[in-house]
Amino acid sequence: MAQPTAAQQQPGTTRTLLKGVDGAGVVRRTVLPGGLRIVTDSLPTVRSAAFGIWVGVGSRDETPVLNGATHYLEHLLFKGTRRRSALDISSALDAVGGEMNAFTAKEYTCYYARVLDDDLPLAIDVVSDMLTGSLIRPEDVDTERDVVLEEIAMTEDDPGDVVHDLFAQVMYGDSPLGRPVLGTVDTINALTRDQVAGFYKRRYRPEHLVVAAAGNVDHAKVVRMVEKAFAGSLTRTDAVPAEPRGGSRALRTAGQVQILDRPTEQAHLVLGLPGLARRDERRWALGVLNSALGGGMSSRLFQEVREKRGLAYSVYSYSSAFADSGLFGIYAGCQPKRVEEVLKICREELQRVADEGITEEELKRAVGQISGSTVLGMEDTGSLMSRVGKAELCYGTHLSVDELLAKISAVTLDDVREVAATVLGAHRPSLAVIGPVNGKRAARISEAVS
């Protein structure tokens, strides 16, 4: 029987989504009035617990004027509530040896804590208080503005990070997915307290939140604690409907090039194409393809670029999936004089895989690599919490470990060949480069791609 989604589940009810062995790996979901979803993954053999609140809002939900507001807001929720100061928030988890943090992505934001199982009530209370009772005071907005600007400056000092933002801009242009998660110096300086507070009011609504807990947790107790922590916030009548997403599909123009001339020791490049959307069933085959092409030390790119020729220390491929589109890219960092040679090899490997697919040996190795890393990545409660929280928020359904492994193992050579032809063979790749690349070399690089 297929799992019901949260929309198919009656508010106020609890459903068991996955049944583990001897009480381990039991995933349950409760939908509260107002739409707040609570999912837990029980692992009674451990002494820790992870708790997170996933918010269905990211940088792609911002207008150009609000670029960076989601990440800015993430910072501000740590600055104090009606019940706690910023010091109270941080010291509460420090006092029990817990960990607390948050991150902002293109399509979601997550606030989380990891503690001993006995301290789970404290983690739930503190993190929920941050989400529901933030004051967003004008003085905090002004103080944290400088912190965010420092984070932008720190990121700008790392061209290996910036090149990925540049590649997103190349592929998506001036659309929400093409703008940086952190925003820019200009947009952060221009944001006001009312703009950030209004964004908080519109977006942080119960139906856009997923509460996730994993480890030595009891689902019913977690539900009761969350209900108490969210009291008064479950049925908000002052909320403004959120704007729908859309209009950010990858630009399918071939051979786009953006080169940012900087006096760095290395040149950093991303060569890539439009990929697959998050729910595309071909994603399993693309994952295997990615592993074989550039996902490990035995991958084609690592062997050809680093091991055989010594042209780069870091070279890999990756796939990024969003609600309605995706990216597939190859990253390499190399000496500026070697950019053309590295690009030539990467393009040849892309074309070879697009034309021929991968070998049986590569298929087996990639399936094994993904299967092993998938299981090993679920060995701690933080990973389990992230798994169920993201699955609920982004997919609405949950797969067991065995089901995940079966999906990966079911990928065939024909599946990989088909997705390779579709993703890698349909367009000429686009390119983003950061480094001391200008003049004739920049012109040759552009010509090599276009």
Provide DSSP, 2-37: PPPPGGGSPTTEEEEEE--BTTBTEEEEEE-TTS-E
Cα–Cα dist 416/321, whole Å:
17
Cα–Cα dist 204/23, whole Å:
33
| AA identity, residue 383 | S
Please choose, from the candidates 42, 51, 45, 136, the residue with its C-alpha nearest in 3D space to the C-alpha of residue 96: 51
Cα–Cα dist 354/333, whole Å:
24
Is-catalytic flag, 447?
no
Q: How many CB atoms lie within 10 A of CB 404?
A: 17
In the set 62, 74, 107, 362, the catalytic residue is 74
CA 143, 57, 159 angle in degrees (round to 5)? 65
> With b meaning 16 or more CB within 10 Å and e meaning fewer, what string describes 198-235?
ebbebbbbbebbbbbbbbbbebeebbebbeebbeebbe
Cβ atoms of 168 and 251 within 8 Å: the answer is no
Please list, in sequence order, all residues whose beta carbon lies within 8 angstroms of the beta carbon of residue 364, skipping any fewer than 6 positions away.
none
Just list the catalytic residues.
74
